[in-house]
Amino acid sequence: MDEQDEPVRVPAGVYRGLMAVRHSGRANMLEVDTVQHVANELGYHDAAGWIEANRSAYIRGVHNGFVVADMGAEEG
């Protein structure tokens, strides 16, 4: 499977924030700026910051899904 087709790995706190925004129903997940705003309003500042720093990965994750990164595994 091509990396572009795989779910995007994110830290657990970022995942919680993304799911909180999604479940809140307050933002279309494709409206990146709105998702960031709602994440901040809900107190998920790590998620909002991650989106800002990883915009293309965020869009890929909206399409392919997000998974919690295994913090014990080395990426590379």
Q: Which residues does residue 66 pair with via DSSP β-bridges, in sequence order?
A: 8
Distance CA 20, CA 72 (A): 24
The pLDDT value recorded for residue 23 is 98
What integer pLDDT is reported at residue 1 of this predicted model? 57
Domain boundaries in the chain?
3-68
Helix (H, G, I), strand (E, B) or coil at 10: strand
Instruction: Report pLDDT digits (tens) over 4-60.
Output: 799 999 999 999 999 999 999 999 999 999 999 999 999 999 999 999 999 999 999
The structure's pTM equals 0.86
Does the pLDDT of residue 66 top 70, yes or no?
yes
Which residues lie below 8 Å from residue 27, measured CB to CB, with a gap of 6+?
21, 34, 35, 37, 38
SS3 38: helix
